Amino acid sequence: MQIQILAGSDTSAPLQDRVTEVMRQMGNDHRKTVQADAYGAEGLVDILEVRATDGQREILVLNCSRQQIQAVLDWQSSIEDNNEFEGLELHLVRKPDSDM
Tell me if 92 sits within 8 A of 5, measured CB to CB.
yes
Mutual angle of helices 41-53 and 66-78, in 10-degree steps: 50
Domain locations along the chain? 2-94
Q: What pLDDT shows up at residue 12? A: 53
Q: Mapped to the 3 state alphabet, what secondary structure does 31-63 carry? A: HHEEEHHHCCHHHHHHHHHHHHHCCCCEEEEEE
Predicted model pTM: 0.79
Helix (H, G, I), strand (E, B) or coil at 94: strand
Tell me if 4 sits within 8 A of 76, measured CB to CB.
no
What is the enclosing helix (H) or strand (E) of 21?
A: helix 13-25
Q: What is the pLDDT of residues 27-86, one digit of tens each?
A: 656 667 899 999 999 999 999 999 999 999 999 898 999 999 999 999 999 987 778 888
The mean pLDDT of the chain is: 83
